[in-house]
Amino acid sequence: MKRFAIILMTLLLAGAVRLDAYDWAAVGIAVDGEEKGNGRTVLTLKDGEGKIFVLGYDAEPADEVVKRVLKIRNDFYAWKHVKIERISFDYSKDVLEVNLVPAEFTYKGVNVLDYLPAGLFFSYYDATYYNFRITRDKMFVRVYGEYVAEEELCEKTITAISDPLAYVRARDPEYLLQRLDRLVSAIMAFESTGAFGSPRPIDRSVVQRIVAIKRQNPVLKRKDIVKALEKEKISISEKAVGVVLGIYFNEFE
């Protein structure tokens, strides 16, 4: 008996066991219904204005989790452009997920519901993140990111609706790398000018050799790399090598 008491006390002190249910009445919330099955509990909750929301969980959430639920709920109900039809929370394995179905979603004259096949999905671990889809011209576009404010969320959503292809390209890693590569080439062409001041682009293969030589021996300076390239029958000025080193290695002499 003594051993059981010690184990129970240890668990309680560690916060691993919660023997009491959250006092919803203390925060003005009424438990309108409760369902249990397959190890899960689903509560239907109602505030003083009659607004209903649902909370499901495997194990009784800590007070901090419930407070987070209430804060997210209150923040979302304060939105100006989105009106909530229903909202549900699911807490499992230390992750809080939120499924919000809008009754209205209008921003800058656009009815976003026309492009929203499902609801708005959010998750919270270290911060609140959104992840949902919109459809436009037979394209499915995923809108995702860290939630900061309603305006930011609406702006990103309307951008995806206005030009879904541009939105996807702007967030596609391969496309961004291609754009970066073109930008680097443009900068090098601008910085490496000919005798009469006109841009003279550096050959891509030469750039690749400069980068490779520098990575093999990071202590090499511009003149060292020029000499190394001369041995490979590649002619290039120290200035041009300096441009490449500045862009790729943030190294300036």
pLDDT at 109: 95
pLDDT at 216: 86
Which stretch, 93-107, 159-173, 180-194, 231-245, has highest mean pLDDT? Answer: 93-107
Residue 82 has pLDDT above 70, yes or no: yes
pLDDT at 7: 45
* pLDDT tens digit sequence for 20-56: 578 999 999 999 999 999 889 999 999 999 999 999 9
Q: Burial code of 47-78, b = ≥16 C-beta within 10 A, e = fewer?
A: beeeeebbbebeeebeeebbebbbebbeebee
Contacts of 134 (CB under 8 A, 6+ apart): 112, 115, 116, 117, 140, 141, 143, 157, 160, 161, 164
* pLDDT tens digit sequence for 95-136: 899 999 999 999 999 999 999 998 999 999 878 999 999 998
For the ranges 15-19, 74-78, 79-83, 233-237, the lowest mean pLDDT is seen at: 15-19
Cα-Cα-Cα-Cα dihedral of 45, 46, 47, 53, to 10°?
A: 60
pLDDT at 19: 41
Task: Give the pLDDT band (50/70/90) at residue 181.
Answer: low
* pLDDT tens digit sequence for 219-242: 889 999 999 999 999 988 888 888
pLDDT at 189: 59
Q: How far apart are CA 188 and CA 140, in angstroms?
A: 37
Residue 91 has pLDDT above 50, yes or no: yes
Show the beta-strand stretches assigned E in the chain: 30-37, 40-46, 52-57, 82-92, 95-107, 110-111, 120-124, 128-136, 139-146
